[in-house]
Amino acid sequence: MKVLFISSSRVGDAILSTGILALLIRSNPNSKITVACGKAAAPVFSETPNIEKLIIIEKRKYSLHWYYLWSKVAGNFWDLVIDLRSSLIAYTIISKSKKIFKKKNKDLHQLKALSLLFSQSKIIEPHIFVGNLNKANAEKLIPGNKAVIAIGPTANWGGKQWPPEYFIEFISSISGKKGRIKNSIVAIFGLESEKYMVRPLLEYLRNIEHINLIGKTSILDAYACMQRCTGFVGNDSGLMHLAAASKIPTLGLFGPSPEQVYAPWGSNCSWVRTKKSFNEIISSSSYNYKSEKSYMSSLSSETVEEAFIELLNKNA
């Protein structure tokens, strides 16, 4: 079975789509899959079995990236085309069957919408494949003899980022010898290019025991590391969905993004948000999506701490 799978350019959405591939592989163990996705999202699929080819879609002027993709896939006959980008590609190539994602209800959780595409009554949860090297790297980075709290302090936009000083308050109260989770330490996740977003946090951490993984792991290494952690607290981001997929207790922090659509999924997950709803934030006269200022300041560290402790107790 020859399959073309067109996924997202964004890491978070790509992670949410991984369960579809896992379901497809279980149902068709001899399938031969070509994945097309953005450069940032590509490493999510690097250990997924049955992938013959990975095509990177890099945005180009006049939407020429779609012509580039078409030129790579049009010469083949496909048994199944799955297009999660709602592009025109699936309509222009030869295939036995097509699944084209078109979200009719914008308030529906992304995983529910994806599951409906495949007529699944049960949610198709993310499933990330990792290799033995990823697991070995994680064992070196995350100790097994103490509680480690994973922290995701960055986001793809400053407006969605809980202020670094709030993370400092949370970490100082929750971890360490006298913290709510006694003798725990934190592990900080993120990209090298995101360091500037959290300089005050990194400065604070220099004075306490911690694990700084910013810019030091691949996506799959980060996933394997999270599997060894006690829980995760972080902004609405790809890291949040990665943590949720790893099945550790995951608390997502929301402000100018809709939790009903992108809340971390699973019985191991929960979320808290700002005092204002998503619609209240974006309808305010002061809202500016081009601004990098945080819209998360009304979410207190005390609220996050209590929500995290409640989540850990629930999953104990």
Residue 141 sits in the same domain as residue 274? yes
Which residue, 159, 151, 148, is CA-closest to 304?
A: 151
b/e 276-306 (16+ beta carbons within 10 angstroms → b): bebeebeeeeeeeeeeeebbbeebebebbbe
Degrees (nearest 5) of the Cα angle 160, 220, 142?
90
Residue 73 sits in the same domain as residue 156? no
For residues 171 and 148, what is the distance between their CA atoms, to the nearest angstrom? 11
> Could you read off the pLDDT tens digit of each residue along the chain, which spans 316 residues?
999 999 999 999 999 999 999 999 999 999 999 999 999 999 999 999 999 999 999 988 878 899 999 999 998 999 999 999 988 899 999 999 999 999 888 999 999 999 999 888 899 999 999 999 999 999 999 999 999 999 999 999 999 999 999 999 999 999 999 999 999 999 999 999 999 999 999 999 999 999 999 999 999 999 999 999 999 999 999 999 999 999 999 999 999 999 999 999 999 999 999 999 999 999 999 999 999 999 999 999 999 999 999 999 999 8
For residue 150, tell me if it sits in a domain. yes
Residue 32 sits in the same domain as residue 172? no
Number of domains in the chain: 2
Residue 60, pLDDT score: 86
Residue 278 sits in the same domain as residue 143? yes
For residue 124, tell me if it sits in a domain. no
Write down the residue that tokens 């149902």 correspond to: 27
Residue 62, pLDDT score: 77
Q: pLDDT by residue (tens digit) across 185-228?
A: 999 999 999 999 999 999 999 999 999 999 999 999 999 999 99
For residue 260, tell me if it sits in a domain. yes
116 CB-near residues (< 8 Å, 6+ apart): none
Q: Can you give the CATH number for the domain in which 8 is found?
A: 3.40.50.2000
For residues 220 and 226, what is the distance between their CA atoms, to the nearest angstrom? 10
For residues 316 and 313, what is the distance between their CA atoms, to the nearest angstrom? 5
For residue 127, tell me if it sits in a domain. no
Residue 304 sits in the same domain as residue 220? yes
Write down the residue that tokens 């509680």 correspond to: 147
Domain limit, last residue, from 84, 117, 150: 117
Residue 231 sits in the same domain as residue 155? yes
Residue 188 sits in the same domain as residue 307? yes
3-state helix, strand, coil in the chain (%, to 5): 40, 20, 45
Write down the residue that tokens 């999924």 correspond to: 265
Residue 281, pLDDT score: 97
For residue 19, tell me if it sits in a domain. yes
For residue 130, tell me if it sits in a domain. no
**Cα-trace Rg, the chain:** 20
For residue 294, tell me if it sits in a domain. yes
For residue 40, tell me if it sits in a domain. yes
For residues 243 and 263, what is the distance between their CA atoms, to the nearest angstrom? 12
Residue 169 sits in the same domain as residue 23? no
Residue 88, pLDDT score: 87
Residue 198 sits in the same domain as residue 301? yes
Residue 263 sits in the same domain as residue 232? yes
What is the domain extent for residue 203? Answer: 136-314
Residue 101, pLDDT score: 94
Residue 49 sits in the same domain as residue 151? no
Residue 120, pLDDT score: 85
Encoded tokens for 287: 């809202």
For residues 43 and 39, what is the distance between their CA atoms, to the nearest angstrom? 8
Residue 63, pLDDT score: 84
Residue 287 sits in the same domain as residue 157? yes
Calculate the dihedral angle through the C-alpha atoms of 16, 17, 18, 23, rounding to the nearest 10 degrees. 120
